[in-house]
């Protein structure tokens, strides 16, 4: 049933409530009538009392049948008036019969019979206040039909006592009419307020759902479009690095260095925004495995020690005795890195410490610093997006305020509890609880790569496969600057044809994961390996974030790099391959 009008809604609630309460009022009415029949039998005209009782029972049966039928149907707005009529007419007849009894069956001077004749009608009138006050006009008419005949009989008797009783009944009528009016006003106002609240809640719910859908759609768009968005940034990063390697003049090299810093800042912003979007949209799924924490600690120490040395800060990383954890190693590493990066950013002297504590059910990983600290009132907001402590000028060199927001979302995704303790001027301590893993569940470890000296790769033949021309040319320029021999191809077929025509066997392959016609870099690497007759060391470069899906397709056989690729990391990886080739 669709109700579009507030008055219709109120009338619907009224009629439903009245019919709902009808069985109780019918029982009270018939029981009171039976008592009256028993009490008055032999004290007045028996046939008149019996006829009245039969009439009241018959009209009560009509009301009962009507109530039963009402409960069987689904009320529509068009039928409200009909059911109001079916309720009102029998109700008026019923109360009129009680008014008739109050006038004609009254026994003046009858002692207890007189009292009974006064108390019963007035009690029924009081009951009508509770039962019918929801419908004001129905209460007024019913209440007056019960009480006015009794008051009139008091004045008809004419003696002093009956006149006083009549006056008292008149006051009683006036008071209950006021009560009925006030109660009706209260009920109607409460109903109106209820409907207003329901409409407000409905509107707010719709707006909330709309906002959530818009946010999810935005996040899904950014997450899904991340591959395409990464392409120009990937090319820009490679070309900037290639240009930097070729510049010899100090004044020009200074400008290129500034360009590299700008590209690096853009990469950080892009990656942070995409991380937030992926986490919000639910695109990012954890790949839970058992692994050794030692490797993560070593990489973090290697990457952040230069920054700590530059600031004159002691960076202490404590070995965790080859402990094995069960989590997503990539996401956990990102979390710890954000803790360390945040600690170094807000620490100007003293030390930053990375250590762990073994507890019975989990490992407690801690990053502790002697930085500026955080006030207690700010502890609840530091994990919100774009919140930064001590950076009112929004200096981009101090970050974007997304690191801890990403940490909070990752910890929720992994179900790892994080905690922060801090004291202004003393420092902060960030912790995360991670469950233990098992050594037998550790997958094949990836080869650890370290940075090598900045020498070339003379003689290293590299096959690059990418269907984006700009990425292909950028990677070609970078590799040629590193003295590599480059074979360029935009597909597996082109790569095989180039190898045959050039009669040059690649030492390693750099392939984009997504290629044209729904082909993948994995398929291209397989095709080249089959042509040559043996497996070729390969690197998959991708903008996709579904790590688990890539591993399921066999990507864990190769080194995996995410766009935009940092040239320094690519150089370190090629150096490792170059040493294998050169012996």
Instruction: Kindly report, residue by residue over 104-144, the tens digit of the pLDDT.
Output: 888 887 778 888 888 888 888 888 887 888 888 888 888 89
Q: Which parts of 362-482 are beta strand (E)?
A: 362-369, 418-423, 427-435, 461-465
Give helix then strand counts, H and E, for the chain: 16, 12
Average per-residue pLDDT in the chain? 80
Structure tokens at 228: 């395409």
**Element spanning 554, H or E:** none
Provide the whole-model pTM: 0.44
What distance in Å separates the CA atoms of residue 219 and residue 87, rounded to the nearest whole number?
57
Please determine, for residue 528, whether its predicted confidence score (pLDDT) is greater than 50: yes
pLDDT (0 to 100) of residue 273? 61
CB 430 within 8 A of CB 418: yes
Question: Measuring CA to CA, which residue among 147, 133, 248, 131 is closest to residue 184?
Answer: 133
Beta pairing partners, 326: 290
pLDDT (0 to 100) of residue 409? 81
Q: Which residues contact 233 (CB under 8 A, 6 or more apart)?
A: 263, 266, 267, 270, 563, 564
Q: What DSSP designation does 555 have?
A: G
Q: What DSSP designation does 379 have?
A: T
Which has more confidence, 248 or 492?
A: 492
CB 41 within 8 A of CB 162: no
Q: What angle do CA 401, 403, 409 make, to 5 degrees?
A: 115
To the nearest whole percent, how much of the chain has pLDDT over 90? 14
Q: Is residue 537 left, alpha or beta, with left meaning phi > 0 and alpha meaning psi from -120 to 50? A: beta
CB 420 within 8 A of CB 428: yes
CB 463 within 8 A of CB 510: yes
Q: How far apart are the first and last CA of the chain?
A: 83
Please determine, for residue 1, whether its predicted confidence score (pLDDT) is greater than 50: no
pLDDT (0 to 100) of residue 463? 92
Structure tokens at 527: 């095709």
CB 316 within 8 A of CB 352: yes
Question: Measuring CA to CA, which residue among 392, 389, 369 is closest to residue 379?
Answer: 389
To the nearest whole percent, how much of the chain has pLDDT over 70? 81
Beta pairing, strands 351-358 & 362-369: antiparallel
pLDDT, one tens digit per residue, over 11-68 is 888 888 888 888 888 888 898 889 888 888 888 888 998 999 999 999 999 999 999 9
Structure tokens at 467: 């269907």
pLDDT (0 to 100) of residue 51? 92
What distance in Å separates the CA atoms of residue 366 and residue 358, rounded to the nearest whole number?
11
pLDDT (0 to 100) of residue 326? 92
Q: Is residue 355 left, alpha or beta, with left meaning phi > 0 and alpha meaning psi from -120 to 50? A: beta
CB 483 within 8 A of CB 458: yes
Distance of CA 33 to the CA centre of its chain: 61
Per-residue b or e along 343-363, where b marks 16 or more CB atoms closer than 10 Å to that residue's CB: bbbbbeeebbbbebeeeeebb
Please determine, for residue 464, whether its predicted confidence score (pLDDT) is greater than 90: yes
Which has more confidence, 221 or 155?
A: 155
Q: What are the distances in angstroms from CA 498 to CA 539, 572, 578?
A: 19, 27, 22
**Element spanning 358, H or E:** strand 351-358
Q: What are the distances in angstroms from CA 422 to CA 318, 348, 355, 376?
A: 21, 16, 17, 8
User: Helical H runs in 247-292?
Assistant: 250-281
Which pLDDT band, with edges at 50, 70 and 90, does 449 fall under?
A: very low
The DSSP result for 191-232, as a single string, is HHHHHHHHHHHHHHHHHHHHHHHHHHHHHHHHHHTHHHHHHH
pLDDT, one tens digit per residue, over 497-517 is 999 998 888 989 999 888 888
Residue with tokens 């079916």: 86
The predicted model gives 398-425 an average pLDDT of 77
Structure tokens at 457: 């790769």
pLDDT, one tens digit per residue, over 187-208 is 888 888 888 888 888 888 888 8
Q: What DSSP designation does 446 have?
A: P
CB 367 within 8 A of CB 336: yes
pLDDT (0 to 100) of residue 68? 92
């Amino acid at each position: 049933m669709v109700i579009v009008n507030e008055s219709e809604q109120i009338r619907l609630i009224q009629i439903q409530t009245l019919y709902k309460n009808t069985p109780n009022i019918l029982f009270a009415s018939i029981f009171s009538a039976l008592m009256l029949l028993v009490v008055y039998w032999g004290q007045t005209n028996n046939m008149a009392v019996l006829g009245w009782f039969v009439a009241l029972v018959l009209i009560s049966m009509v009301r009962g049948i009507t109530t039963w039928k009402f409960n069987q149907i689904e009320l529509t707005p068009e039928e409200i008036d009909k059911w109001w009529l079916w309720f009102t007419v029998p109700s008026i007849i019923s109360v009129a019969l009680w008014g008739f009894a109050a006038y004609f069956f009254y026994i003046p001077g009858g002692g207890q019979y007189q009292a009974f004749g006064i108390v019963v009608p007035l009690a029924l009138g009081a009951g009508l206040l509770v039962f019918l006050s929801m419908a004001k006009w129905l209460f007024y008419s019913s209440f007056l039909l019960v009480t006015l005949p009794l008051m009139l009989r008091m004045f008809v008797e004419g003696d002093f006592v009956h006149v006083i009783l009549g006056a008292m009944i008149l006051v009683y009528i006036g008071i209950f009419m006021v009560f009925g009016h006030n109660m009706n006003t209260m009920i109607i106002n409460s109903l109106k307020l209820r409907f207003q609240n329901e409409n407000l809640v409905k509107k707010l719910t719709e707006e909330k759902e709309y906002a959530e859908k818009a946010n999810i759609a935005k996040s899904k768009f950014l997450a899904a479009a991340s591959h395409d968005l990464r392409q120009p940034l990937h090319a820009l990063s490679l070309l900037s690095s290639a240009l930097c390697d070729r510049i010899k003049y100090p004044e020009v090299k200074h400008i290129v260095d500034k360009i590299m810093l700008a590209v690096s800042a853009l990469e950080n912003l892009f990656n942070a925004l995409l991380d937030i979007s992926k986490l919000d949209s639910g695109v990012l799924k954890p790949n839970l495995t058992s692994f050794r924490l030692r490797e993560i600690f070593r990489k973090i120490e290697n990457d952040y020690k230069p920054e700590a040395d530059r600031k004159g800060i002691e960076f202490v990383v404590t070995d965790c005795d080859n402990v094995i954890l069960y989590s997503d190693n990539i996401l956990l590493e990102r979390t710890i890195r954000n803790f360390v990066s945040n600690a170094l950013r807000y620490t100007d002297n003293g030390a930053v410490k990375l250590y762990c504590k073994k507890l019975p059910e989990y490992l407690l990983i801690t990053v502790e610093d002697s930085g500026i600290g955080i006030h207690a009132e700010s502890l609840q907001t530091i994990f919100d997006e774009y919140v930064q402590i001590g950076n009112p000028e929004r200096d981009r060199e101090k970050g974007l305020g997304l690191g801890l927001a990403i940490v909070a979302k990752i910890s929720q995704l992994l179900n790892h509890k994080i905690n922060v303790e801090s004291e202004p001027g003393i420092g902060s301590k960030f912790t995360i609880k991670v469950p233990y893993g098992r050594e037998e569940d550790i997958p094949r470890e990836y080869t650890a790569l370290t940075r090598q000296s900045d020498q070339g790769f003379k003689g290293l033949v590299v096959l690059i496969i990418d269907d984006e021309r700009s990425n292909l040319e950028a990677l070609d320029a970078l590799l040629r600057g590193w003295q590599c021999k480059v074979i360029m191809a935009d597909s597996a077929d082109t790569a095989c044809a180039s190898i045959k025509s050039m009669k040059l066997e690649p030492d390693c392959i750099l392939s984009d994961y997504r290629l044209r016609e729904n082909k993948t870099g994995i398929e291209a690497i397989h095709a080249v390996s089959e042509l040559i007759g043996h497996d070729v060391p390969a690197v998959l470069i991708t903008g996709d974030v579904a790590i688990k899906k890539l591993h399921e397709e066999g990507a864990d056989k190769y080194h995996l790099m995410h766009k935009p690729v940092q040239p320094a990391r690519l150089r370190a990886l090629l150096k490792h391959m170059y040493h294998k080739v050169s012996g």
